[in-house]
Chain A
Amino acid sequence: MNGGTKPMSGEEKQRRIVPIGPYHPLQEEPEFFKLIVEGETVVDLEIHLGYNHRGHEFISPELTYEQVPFLVERICGICSNSHPLAAVLAIEDCAGIKPPPRANYIRSIIHELERIHSHLLWVGLAGHFIGYNTVWMWAWRYREHILEVFEMITGNRNHYAANKPGGVRWDIKPEQIPPIEAALDVVEKKTMMLTKAVLDDPVIRARLEGVGILTREQALQWSVVGPTARASGVDIDVRRDDPHAAYDQVPWNVIVLPEGDVFAKAKVRLLEIFESVRIIRGCLQNLPEGPIDTRIDEVPPGEGIGRTEAPRGEVFHYIRSDGSNRPLRHKIRAPSYMNIASNVVAVRGGSIADAALTLAAVDPCYCCTERMAAFEDGKMKFTGNELLRLSWEKTEKIRERFK
């Protein structure tokens, strides 16, 4: 560490600050970590938040209950089903009504599809973080199948607008079921391949095992949720513990691992993809007939709590109603709020090189889907295939030039 010279004494050991942020170079989102280091060892962490504070809790009381799901959907582009689902569960808890069975099944299907695409996104990012860009490109390629299913069901690849108080907006038609099942088959097969490739790779194991350990006691103290908690041996999952939607109607398992390091977090997420595939298949097989929404006449004065398991952990929404058509107070807690705070203990004692990985292991959110479309006189100018052809032609031209 100090080049073979005499070891540092107490006075010589200086504390320095290594900043990561305010704009994270790789995660592309604004948050500021101040790593306090001694030599190469991280001794403490300061987290600064608030660069991205958009005041949802302030805006929500100005909107009607029908509009609130659209607002909370925009909290995060990746969890764009978890927040509206938790919000409508809170409204339904407050009003004391239950959605029809078909709505519950569709909610579960869309929620699990979201989990698959979010976990694949994280696996890709993790690969990118440690320099394995093949993993990144594979994972994001397979994620594309899920996004296409979303586009077919709801018309959007992200921001599905699937939930409303009392039910769902989009029905799953019988002719849509075979393409969904086909996409699931592809994703399951490819994820199996990816999981084996990632978990058996000695370099990835050497890089991730024993890094950024969060023990079970620390996980409980910091009340972390989701895969971050489950990888530390805390057996919690809101889908099972507080059943909502159709999660108690189909068989599935909660993945729990005891190690608490980054490798365990990756493993939990990869294995959860298979459970999600199981849930969706089960829901599609027993999809009940009937209406997809029910009428809410009024939301009486009172309070309601809705929570659901987002890909990153428990999302918590609390709504206080005064009997009018808009909430009096709407408290929103995203899973990253608890998970990011626990980084303070997870990075302590590790080296600087591992810190960026540890900070990314809890899967902090950012919004990403972007596609190009060119319009002229109200008509689409290029289709996706034409854009692909154009890019190939361009590549050929560049090759010609450098021959």
Chain B
Amino acid sequence: MSESLKLFLERFPDTKVFEKNPRRLYLTIPREKLTAAAKFLHEERGMRLSIATGIDTRHGFEVLYHFSEDTTGIIYTVKVFAPKDDPRIEAQGGWFPAAQWIEREMHELLGIDFVGHPNPAPLLTSDTDWEQGRYPLRRDYERRNEAHER
């Protein structure tokens, strides 16, 4: 078990760990603990944020923050769930500038609310006439042909 994972489990004992292979770790935590976990990984363990992935699944939204530990080559993916009827997650962009763009992007493509984001404006569609409230990466997204071909 790697050093960072050991310390992470001491700090957050209710983590569900899934080891895909020795260099790909998936850590599922309750969404209230996301900020503490991200701060632990970045500030105390010196990891860099590769990117975050938002997925719309049948059970709710999954948000995955992929942290890369460059001294060992391990990716620690912190996974949090947000239910469909309450898609809110604490924003990391406030204290961690690397997370700002991706949280804006997830907000506009999936409709997840990032609470406390310093600049929650849309990132990709800010200069277009994209309709508010249409989220292309949601499972129930319907294509309207004219809108796509424009």
With a cutoff of 8 Å between Cβ atoms, the chain A residues found around residue B82 in the complex are: none
Interface membership of A370, Cβ < 8 A:
no
Q: Taking the complex as formed, is A260 at the interface, i.e. its CB lies under 8 A from any CB of chain B?
A: no
State whether A223 touches B98 (Cβ < 8 A).
yes
Taking A93-B24, A333-B50 as contacts, is the C-beta distance between A222 and B77 under 8 angstroms? no
Would you give the 0/1 interface string for B43-76, flagging 1 where the beta carbon is closer than 8 Å to chain A? 0001011110101000000001010101111010
Docked pose: A225 CA to B66 CA in angstroms: 14
Closest to A51 in B: B127
Q: How far is the CA of A181 from the CA of B20 in the complex (A)?
A: 40
Cβ contacts under 8 Å, B96 to chain A: 221
A222 and B97 within 8 A (CB): yes
Complexed CA–CA distance, A22 and B98 (Å): 24
**Chain A residues, Cβ within 8 Å of B53:** 318, 329, 331
For B50, the chain A residues whose CB sits under 8 A away are 223, 307, 314, 316, 333
| Contact among B64, B72, B98 for A338, CB-based, below 8 A | B98
Interface centre among A53, A96, A303, A304 (most CB of B within 10 A): A303
- List the A residue with the shortest CB-CB distance to B127: A48
Query: Could you tell me if B73 and A58 are in contact, using CB atoms closer than 8 angstroms?
Result: no
User: Nearest chain-A residue to B95 (Cβ)?
Assistant: A221
B interface, over-half SS: mixed
Contact for A341 among B55, B77, B101, B124, CB less than 8 A: B101
State in angstroms the CA–CA spacing of A235 and B70 once bound together: 8
Separation of A358 and B123 alpha carbons in the complex (Å): 22
* Nearest Cβ on chain A to B125's Cβ, whole angstroms: 6
Contact: B48 with A223, CB < 8 Å? yes
Tell me whether A220 and B137 are in contact (CB under 8 A): no
CB distance from A326 to the nearest CB of B (A): 15
Expressed in whole angstroms, the Cα–Cα distance for A302 and B24 within the complex equals 12
- Chain A nearest CB from B97 CB (Å) reads 5
Determine if B26 is an interface residue (Cβ-Cβ < 8 Å): yes
Tell me if A305 and B75 are in contact (CB < 8 A): yes
Interface size class of A (residues with CB under 8 A): 35 or more
Is the CB–CB distance between A305 and B73 below 8 Å?
A: no
Question: Is B21 on the interface with A (CB-CB < 8 A)?
Answer: yes
Query: B2 near A: Cβ within 8 Å?
Result: no
The reply on B83 being an interface residue by CB < 8 A is: no
- Let me know if B123 and A305 touch, CB within 8 A: no
Which residues of chain A are near B123, meaning CB under 8 Å?
Answer: 49-50
A7 adjacent to chain B (CB < 8 Å): no
Known: A51-B127, A241-B71. A341 touches B98 (CB 8 A): yes
Any A CB within 8 A of the CB of B23: yes
Any B CB within 8 A of the CB of A243 = yes
Nearest-CB distance from B5 to chain A (Å)?
A: 16
Residue of B nearest to A242 (CB): B73
A66 at interface, CB cutoff 8 A: no
Cα A236 to Cα B49 with chains together (Å):
13
Cβ of A3 within 8 Å of any chain B Cβ, yes or no, is: no
| Interface contact A53-B124, CB-CB below 8 Å | yes
B97 with A221: CB separation less than 8 A: yes
Known: A58-B136, A236-B70, A337-B51. 12 other contacts (CB 8 A): A48-B127, A50-B128, A51-B127, A221-B97, A223-B49, A242-B23, A242-B75, A302-B20, A314-B50, A316-B66, A318-B66, A341-B101
The 3 A-B pairs of least Cβ separation, nearest first, read: A50-B124, A223-B98, A242-B73
